Chains A and B, each alone.
Chain A
């Protein structure tokens, strides 16, 4: 039975898609069966993984699943044996209005995923940077939240907004939602800002589960530009090592 993890942060550009993609590859390389779910109308993850092929999924994607116009097995794309994708599509933003007016609108994703959960060990959901119906569906369907964040002033503020949102979701739609951890991303020693913010974060929240820090690495940007995981692009670099370490940590926390 899969464990469902939302990769979420209301702040844009903090590395949600990068984290989902590379953690997914890392888990798959550890022999885990992984389903990646792209619930972002800007479909960066989908485009990164299947490129223009996204056009073939107009009638079977995460949105048509949530409006119950299609079946989940038609929508799943096999990237490799152990890594599958439930794609997003350009038409997802149009579905938003339809879903928000629908019955049981917060549980559309949860209901859609249920039949395939036994087929996977991990389901990772890449979320949009917005507190709308898609993020609510994702958090409602999840066991855990993984928060990538930038160690900047607004980065730490965005993280706190996520804490508040998590509390709201736990009170309203999913009492079992748990914080898996914080993943400081784009870490650099070129300025003292990240280190300072990290210290402040630890002071403000001594209990915060801070997981592996991902370094700022040009290789990650280049890999993403080519639609490749960091492992395909630069397997022996710092970033690849950090993601493998993170995957190990995630497995340890989730599987005990």
Chain B
């Protein structure tokens, strides 16, 4: 993943989003626009909703911050340390031993 350029995730036109879609209904009052809202149903399964809530909701507020912090750490530490040192650091982290890690980090030279 290159962080030098932002990935473009939306392939539509933003200009389009600022107008009502398929709007021949442009004329006429807003209330009549309202009554024309489609009566379709969005299909979200209970299970899907739960997953979405877990990912983004309640816990997610913290979770997404953790993921973002983690990606930033990963990306910039790797750049700062270089591939080799970074992989060493990762295996040090992989030992799941905070004391060992503290010792390792204290000796780390960039």
Contact = CB atoms under 8 A, between A and B. Distances in A.
A binds B: yes
A13 B5 CA distance: 24
B61 A1 contact: no
Given A11-B64, A161-B9, A173-B40, A179 B14 contact: yes
B94 interface: no
A100 B7 CA distance: 33
A176 B33 contact: yes
A169 B41 CA distance: 10
Q: B interface, how many residues as a size bin?
A: 35 or more
A153 B6 contact: yes
Given A130-B52, A209-B18, A174 B8 contact: no
Interface in B44-67: 44, 46, 49, 52-53, 55-58, 60-61, 64-65
A208 B65 contact: no
Interface in B1-29: 3, 5-10, 12-15, 17-23, 25
Interface in A93-144: 93, 96-97, 100-101, 104-106, 110, 128-133, 136, 140, 143
Contacts of B46: 97, 100-101
Interface residues of A, number: 57
Contacts of A160: 8-10
B17 A179 contact: yes
A39 B42 CA distance: 19
Given A173-B42, A176-B23, A197 B6 contact: yes
Contacts of B19: 178
A164 B10 contact: yes
Interface in A170-214: 170-180, 197, 200-201, 204-205, 207-209
Given A12-B65, A106-B42, A172-B42, A131 B3 contact: no
Contacts of B15: 207
A250 to B, nearest CB: 13
A166 interface: yes
B37 to A, nearest CB: 5
Contacts of B49: 96, 100, 132-133
B33 A164 contact: no
A13 B20 contact: no
A170 B53 CA distance: 22
Chain B CB within 10 Å — which of A106, A110, A176 has the most? A176
B68 interface: yes
Contacts of B107: none
B30 interface: yes
A104 B40 CA distance: 9
What are the 3 A-B residue pairs with the smallest beta carbon separation, nearest first? Answer: A130-B57, A207-B15, A130-B56
